Amino acid sequence: MATTDRQAATLALAHALSAAERGLAVIPLSRNKLPALRSPHHDGSGPASCHGECGRFGHGVYDASSDPARIRELFAAAPWAGGYGIACGLPPHHLIGVDLDTKTGTDASAALRELALRNLFTIPATVVVITPSGGRHLWLTGPPDVVVPNSAGRLAPGIDIRGAGGYLVGPGSRTDHGVYATAPGTAHLGPAACPPALLHLLLPPPRSAHPAPSPAGDHGRGLIHFVLTAHEGQRNTRLFWAACRAYENGIGPALLVPLIEAAVDTGLTEREARATIASAARMTGHRP
């Protein structure tokens, strides 16, 4: 391993251990921001639903720990790690991450301010992490008895939520695009409590007593049309967005095949389409 890689791995471990001292559960990340350890079941040798019960590493956020000894074991198994992820939704903080993106061409910070004005809440002083692209991650805490799901763009374009089953890239992590850093004046803060009005927006709507609409329903047809009208360069993005909306509205499984067929019609391969839809399912707190 090159000296620079060893230094990055050493720094990542040091930052991860520091986060653990604050009660945050962490996992090692590769420079592409994905979990550094490959699933031990990638060859189909184990149950697809294993969340670490097999005792081996490689289960993503389910490996997360705040125990220093386990963290050292995780990083020893992934000496190429350049960063670390912080698991959301776990005690004692029940972390909620508000990811304000800058790559969508929209002003996510302004969208959050508009939401706050419209719903009568303010974002408290809290930990803010600046991403290499100039985006911001706001750290908030939720009640222990509330499960906040992951979502992408549901609140507003450019605003993603990291909740139970998700993770945030920790400050000090080095990625292919740069370093994540705590915003000046926020490093000494702890995650602030999520305002109740914002928490209400983050929770999924109550399930209807009526059966979920079929793929032929208006909403399903609209999502399929949205994918079918994608131009080159939009196909994966549109498919991901449509799949997120489908899972959030309870029709993800029913729309799986129609979404794949629509994506293939636009030029994606079936494998690419399935991978994108699986990512959307995980992002929204569902199993692919």
User: Alpha helices, DSSP H only, in the chain?
Assistant: 3-21, 68-77, 108-119, 196-202, 218-228, 235-248, 252-266, 270-283
Backbone angles phi, psi at 85, to 5 degrees: -110, 145
Q: What is the pLDDT of residue 189?
A: 94
- Point out the domain boundary residue: 145, 173, 203: 203
Assess if residue 94 is contained within a domain. Answer: yes
| Structural domain includes residue 9 | yes
234 alpha-carbon distance from chain centroid: 21
CATH label of the domain that carries residue 191: 3.30.2250.10
- Structural domain including 51 reads 1-86
Among 7, 74, 83, 4, smallest CA distance to 38 is for 74
Sole residue written with tokens 């906040």 = 148
Q: For residue 213, is it within any domain?
A: no
Q: Considering the entire predicted model, what is its pTM? A: 0.71
pLDDT of 279: 84
Rounded to an integer, what distance in angstroms lies between the CA atom of residue 134 and that of residue 181?
A: 10
DSSP letter (8 states) at residue 67: -
Same domain, 230 and 267: yes
In a domain, 268, yes or no: yes
pLDDT reported for residue 232: 65
* Domain shared by 193 and 106, yes or no: yes
Residue 74 inside a domain? The answer is yes
Please tell me the total count of domains within the chain.
Answer: 3
Residue where a domain stops, chosen among 203, 230, 252: 203
Identify the domain boundary among 86, 101, 124. 86
Q: Is residue 211 part of a domain?
A: no
Are 22 and 44 contained in the same domain?
A: yes
Residue 39 lies in a domain: yes
Averaged pLDDT, groups of 10, the chain, 288 residues long: 71 96 96 89 65 80 94 95 95 95 81 92 96 95 91 86 94 94 94 95 66 54 82 77 86 89 84 88 78
